[in-house]
Structure 1
Amino acid sequence: MKYDVLHETLDTWFANHARDLPWRRPECTPWGIMVSEFMLQQTPVARVLPRWQEWLQRWPRPADLAAEPSGEAVRAWGRLGYPRRALRLHAAAAAIVAGHGGEVPDTYDELLQLPGVGNYTAAAIASFAFGRRETVVDTNIRRVQARAIRGRALPEPALTAAESRLAAELLPSDAGAAVRWNASAMELGALVCTAKSPKCEQCPLLQTCHWVADGRPEPHYAPKGQSWHGTDRQVRGALMAVLRVSEAPVPPGLLLEPSVPDGVQPSAQVENALRKLHGLRADASQLERALSGLLDDRLAEQNDDGVQLPA
């Protein structure tokens, strides 16, 4: 086969260098793998590990999570970012209980029907949890393909049809080999073939990499960095931090004004989170916009007593 040497090379490298991650261990359940895939979207492994362990201890099965209010999922999500993932994972757990007897479905098509599960996540769960031959394409894999095969410094800004075709062409025909290829290519992109400072001298593909052979040309476009400080997203995160630590609804006045209304005595945790929120010095319109966004996204709800996580 055209890519046999490539597959064998990465197989050997992965066997010797792969990180010992709990969701890769044989005893990990499909649900544990599914939780990891939701958490790892746009979030580094180091931040995910402690949160994943807490979740699996508290909710070892989909039914355990589905039995809780969705707000508890958001609270337990902590500071992983993009908390809508917590709501979607909660909804997926409920769908698994309602439609699959509490067991994570084992095919791509069934997984794709679950709330919050897109093409990548369905393929990853089917591959890593059930050993299915599915084409898994994340940013790390796309970057390895771009450099090793296409001679490009970076993949395209968004997944293209050509990249998808290449990924399908690279996938081994044997299911077990396909699973290992998905895992090893992803790991190589995460540890060695990184976006900003690739460790080419440590790469098992150094001698055959088209990007290295072409003199490591610069990217064919200028990547756009994601801003954070001063953005609505930062303010939303600070608002969520207040709601996560509060045992009771928070009066809107506490969230929108730096002063504490008369008769209100927040706990030390809430007071600390409020101090961080108002330390951002966001103006009233940005605070209101951020709060409205949380309510619209159902990450929070408001009643006569104040604002809280979803019940």
Structure 2
Amino acid sequence: MPAADDVTAVDRHTDLHEPVLAWFDVHARDLPWRSPRCSAWGVLVSEIMLQQTPVVRVLPRWRAWLARWPAPADLAAADTAEVLTAWDRLGYPRRALRLKEAAQAIVDRHDGQVPADPQALRALPGIGEYTAAAVASFAFGIPETVVDTNVRRVIARAVTGIGLPGASLTRAEMRLAQALMPARTDRANRWNAAVMELGALVCTARAPRCDHCPLRERCAWRAAGSPAAQTPARRQAWAGTDRQVRGAIMAAVRADGSVDREGLAAAVAKTGRLGSHRPAPAQWDRALAGLLDDGLLTDQDGRLTFPR
């Protein structure tokens, strides 16, 4: 049960469901993983790919991935080097390794079928609370409460009246999100998707389109005068970081199949992925050591390759 203060907040906002769901009926993007024909595996793949990666970049990779590996058993049997190559420029390539491990676990534990049980989903490698809840809700119609950054932002503004949520999901936030779920299962699952979409398209972090929001007349944040967020939106640094160098190294190996360790800088330069950045020797060493430690690259007698 939600705490008393959470219940009070929900009592004041029982009129949120209808406008959000009606807005979603009109404005929801036509995404392939939302299709009733999409498999649970397709939903799982989409959720992994969409972590910290925008939809526009995910769409072509998701389609190619499902065409190549339409079921968990297909990915489980795939060569790791092939998987990392297919991940292409989605970023955070450890997700590709975790997805392959999850596929193998699905084959080993669940006869090759993505499990519907949320606890079984959480037990898969690389599957956290959010992903398990999202797959249960969107693939199987089990009304788990799905709370990502977009959902947190909509609830923070519309219900609690603050500009942005804190850096980490709190228990109070989770209780409130659970309490806001519609009672009917079908509406609860659609609510999950609708609030997420509202945060992605309208209630954005830096430039919310309040005039287009279905909650503009009910939003506690607007009623309070849209006060500045106490927690400013964080911009993820990229240029000049180890992440940029790691990505460039991966791109060089992806392009050539293998790269001589001594000629790494020259191979990376050919990709153009570093722009004007020129890493110091210590950064090259640090980035390469991280890729080797993460199992994303192997060193075969001085040749850097993807693992097999």
**Could you tell me which residue of structure 2 aligns to residue 174 of structure 1?**
184
Q: Does 1:107 align with 2:117?
A: yes
Q: Does 1:225 align with 2:223?
A: no
Task: Provide, for residues 208-264 of structure 1, a one-character-per-residue CA deviation record: whole Å limited to 9, x for no partner.
Answer: 0000111100001333322111111110000000111223x3210111x44xxxxxx
2:29 aligned to 19, 33, 44, which one?
19
What is the CA-CA distance between 1:172 and the residue it aligns to? Answer: 1.6
Cα distance in 2 for partners of 1:64, 1:285 equals: 39
Q: Quickly say closer, same or farther: Cα 1:216–1:278, change in 2 above 3 A.
A: closer
Cα distance in 2 for partners of 1:144, 1:292 equals: 40
User: What is the root-mean-square deviation of aligned Cα atoms in Å?
Assistant: 1.6
Normalised to the residue count of structure 1, the TM-score between the two structures is 0.92
Residue type of the alignment partner of 2:261? P
Q: Does 1:291 align with 2:300?
A: no
Among all aligned residue pairs of Structure 1 and Structure 2, give the percentage whose two residues are the same amino acid.
55
Describe how 1:100-249 pairs up with structure 2 within 5 A: 100-247=110-257, 249=258
Listed as ranges, the gaps of 5+ residues in structure 1 are 259-265
**Could you tell me which residue of structure 2 aligns to residue 254 of structure 1?**
263
**Could you tell me which residue of structure 2 aligns to residue 59 of structure 1?**
69
Query: Is the contact between residue 147 and residue 154 of structure 1 (CA under 8 Å) also seen in structure 2?
Result: yes
Residue type of the alignment partner of 1:253? E
What is the CA-CA distance between 1:304 and the residue it aligns to? Answer: 1.6
**Could you tell me which residue of structure 1 aligns to residue 6 of structure 2?**
none
Q: Quickly say closer, same or farther: Cα 1:277–1:210, change in 2 above 3 A.
A: closer
Cα distance in 2 for partners of 1:223, 1:171 equals: 26
Cα distance in 2 for partners of 1:202, 1:282 equals: 45
Cα distance in 2 for partners of 1:276, 1:79 equals: 11
Residue type of the alignment partner of 2:112? G
Secondary structure of 1:243's aligned partner:
helix
Q: Does 1:309 align with 2:297?
A: no
Cα distance in 1 for partners of 2:199, 2:275 equals: 39
Once the two structures are overlaid, the 10-residue window that deviates more, 72-81 or 186-195, is 72-81
Q: Does 1:280 align with 2:277?
A: yes
Once the two structures are overlaid, the 10-residue window that deviates more, 275-284 or 55-64, is 275-284
Secondary structure of 2:160's aligned partner:
coil
Residue type of the alignment partner of 2:156? A
**Could you tell me which residue of structure 2 aligns to residue 263 of structure 1?**
none
Residue type of the alignment partner of 2:263? L
Task: Provide, for residues 14-69 of structure 1, a one-character-per-residue CA deviation record: whole Å limited to 9, x for no partner.
Answer: 11110000000111000000000000001100010011011011111111111112
Secondary structure of 2:162's aligned partner:
coil
What is the CA-CA distance between 1:279 and the residue it aligns to? Answer: 5.4
Normalised to the residue count of structure 2, the TM-score between the two structures is 0.93
Residue type of the alignment partner of 1:252? R
Secondary structure of 2:108's aligned partner:
helix
Query: Is the contact between residue 239 and residue 277 of structure 1 (CA under 8 Å) also seen in structure 2?
Result: no
Matched pairs, number: 298
